[in-house]
Amino acid sequence: MVKKLTVIVLALILGISSIISFTSRVSALEAGKIWLNDDDTITYATINDAVAAGNTGDTIRISGLFDTTNPAFRDAVVNNGMTLEVASDTSILNDDDNQSGITIASGSHIKTVNGSTLYMQGFKRALDLQAGAEMNDGNYTFKDNDFVTLDGSVKGTSRDALVVDITAYVFTELYSDEAKFENTTIKLTTSTVKTWGRPIDDGGQLPHTTNAHWNFKNVAFIGTRLTSLMMPYATIEDSDVTIDFSNDGLANFDTYFRFSGSTASNSEIINSTITLNNTFHGIVTTSDSANLYFTNSKININVSGNEELSRDYTSTGIILEDGHVKIENSELNITTQNAYQSPVVFSGSSSFTVGENTVINTPANNDKSDEIRYLIDNIVALETSPTGYVVTGGSFLVKYHTDTGADLSTTPTNGAANDNEKLTYFQLADPSETALSPVNKYGQRYSYGVANASSDGNKYVWVPSEKVTFSLGDNPSATFADGTNTNKETLAMR
């Protein structure tokens, strides 16, 4: 009851703040105006009137305030290769929950110029950018509409030049197939000010359709108070994805970034940073066709949630229920909030492969495997192939664990090319070393890149080892530094 009252009070506060900000914004605007091309002496009552009067490729220009009494943007459709241009700050308001706003049809464009902003509020569907249409440079703000749909191409000239800011209760119709974003900033914020009749604890979702996926190039994606993300695969290049999941009861423990897999494409994250804050499950894969490849990238996962839920529902930074992850020349940082959370756990037919110059940072202090077997600050292979965890490079700040049974392993191999030999964990005495040349079972050297140190400044590697025996020979009076004279054995890198 206290939590519900808190949410209601917060919603009221946010609502009052929104009203003040909104009143200030619209009071400075002149009455709305619509015209074609460069002739602003002839104006039109509605967008559809302007479209009917124009020709293929014309530009429809708009500016000013279109309040709730103005029908100019009710079921407006821009087609015929035309461009809708926001010439100066424009606010379009609606108070009918069943009323849609602007549709940009295939072949048409929408943009803002002169630093202006398009603001839309209160529509059932404020903007429908259809497949084949384009959103270009400009500032776009959508507040408390039921839906905004971006099925077309969102393509700017830079992240700063094209900024889309959407505040809504859900984002389930943001895209139906491919979210094709390039040179843009996308901001999504979950609001409970207007829920459109949905339960107060059911917001923050993105599309969960079978084919809905991301295609990001030079994108800044910022999500606040989101819940579950699901997609078969994603292509993320030269981008920064930052998601602060809901951690206030809105989603309970249903927060994760899940990849269901696809035979059509693998997930490629290249030259990018993925940051997941306040997430209960982190990155999840759920099928053998879910292949995630991280190259020259950084993955930051902050696992959170209360201890009881963490104990009961496997709260983990990366959990692979089938699926495959490969990381090269990248950095994986996982932090946890309590002792019942784990960095990485994979099972079934899953695999976890780490290549050269990668850094894996975990808290490296927790081992509660005597209570729950996978609760180790390490990479845990659970009831899976002994060759599922492969390391051929990198530094690993983990809690070392000695494997005691076949059902669980924290010890990687060096892959099929090296005969899948179980490896040994060493700390390098000299952290300035950037590359090693271990010898595999075949007597052949292979490259082990370790250019980057772990977060504590040291380098921890997984390489083949050989038992070394130190003997004092036949001198009965000789002793080691500890005063003993029996042979001593240790492990050394091979």
Residues 308 and 437 both lie in one domain: yes
pLDDT, one tens digit per residue, over 287-304 is 999 999 999 999 999 999
Give yes or no for residue 483 having a pLDDT over 80.
Answer: no
In a domain? residue 30? no
Residues 480 and 452 both lie in one domain: no
Residues 420 and 478 both lie in one domain: no
What whole-number percentage of the chain has pLDDT above 70? 90
Q: What is the mean pLDDT of residues 406-417?
A: 94
Predicted confidence at residue 425, as pLDDT, reads 98
Predicted confidence at residue 5, as pLDDT, reads 45
In a domain? residue 320? yes
Predicted confidence at residue 9, as pLDDT, reads 47
Confidence bin at 4 (pLDDT 50/70/90): very low
Give yes or no for residue 6 having a pLDDT over 50.
Answer: no
Q: What is the mean pLDDT of residues 1-27?
A: 50
Number of domains comprising the chain: 2
Q: Which domain holds residue 350?
A: 89-462
In a domain? residue 311? yes
In a domain? residue 42? no
In a domain? residue 57? no
Give yes or no for residue 2 having a pLDDT over 90.
Answer: no
The answer for residues whose C-beta is within 8 angstroms of residue 433's C-beta and 6 or more apart is 450, 459
Residues 396 and 453 both lie in one domain: yes
Q: What is the mean pLDDT of residues 462-476?
A: 78
- Separation of alpha carbons 58 and 79, rounded Å: 10
pLDDT, one tens digit per residue, over 221-259 is 999 999 889 999 999 999 999 999 976 545 556 789 999
Give yes or no for residue 23 having a pLDDT over 50.
Answer: yes
Residues 458 and 468 both lie in one domain: no
More confident residue, 486 or 21: 486
Residues 374 and 468 both lie in one domain: no
Residues 437 and 487 both lie in one domain: no
Strand stretches in 79-211, DSSP E? 83-93, 100-104, 109-112, 117-121, 125-129, 134-135, 138-143, 147-150, 153-155, 162-168, 178-190
- The mean-pLDDT minimum among 76-85, 193-202, 309-318, 462-471 falls in 462-471
Half-sphere exposure of 432 (CA within 13 A, CB side): 0
Q: Evaluate the CA torsion angle 201, 203, 204, 205 in order and state its sign.
A: positive
Give yes or no for residue 481 having a pLDDT over 50.
Answer: yes
Confidence bin at 406 (pLDDT 50/70/90): confident
Residues 317 and 220 both lie in one domain: yes
Predicted confidence at residue 7, as pLDDT, reads 44
Give yes or no for residue 13 having a pLDDT over 70.
Answer: no
Give yes or no for residue 369 having a pLDDT over 90.
Answer: yes
Q: Is 125 exposed, middle or buried (0-12, 13-18, 19+ CB in 10 A)?
A: middle
More confident residue, 74 or 252: 74
In a domain? residue 333? yes
Give yes or no for residue 1 having a pLDDT over 90.
Answer: no
Give yes or no for residue 14 having a pLDDT over 70.
Answer: no
Element (H, E) at 291: strand 291-295
Q: What is the mean pLDDT of residues 438-461?
A: 97
Residues 452 and 468 both lie in one domain: no
Give yes or no for residue 487 having a pLDDT over 80.
Answer: no
Q: What is the mean pLDDT of residues 360-384?
A: 95
Give yes or no for residue 377 having a pLDDT over 70.
Answer: yes
pLDDT, one tens digit per residue, over 103-160 is 999 999 999 999 999 999 999 999 999 999 999 999 999 999 999 999 999 999 999 9
Predicted confidence at residue 8, as pLDDT, reads 47
Q: What is the mean pLDDT of residues 51-76?
A: 98
Give yes or no for residue 261 having a pLDDT over 50.
Answer: yes
Residues 407 and 478 both lie in one domain: no
Round the average pLDDT of the chain to a whole number and report it: 91
Residues 403 and 478 both lie in one domain: no
Instruction: Sort residue 369 into left (φ over 0), alpha (ψ -120 to 50) or beta.
Output: alpha
In a domain? residue 434? yes
Per-state percent for the chain, helix, strand, coil, to nearest 5:
10, 45, 45
Residues 220 and 307 both lie in one domain: yes
Which DSSP string do the residues of 375-418 spell out, in sequence order?
Answer: -BSSEEEEEE-TTSEEESB-EEE-------BTTEE---B--GGG
Give yes or no for residue 22 having a pLDDT over 80.
Answer: no
In a domain? residue 412? yes
Give yes or no for residue 20 having a pLDDT over 60.
Answer: no
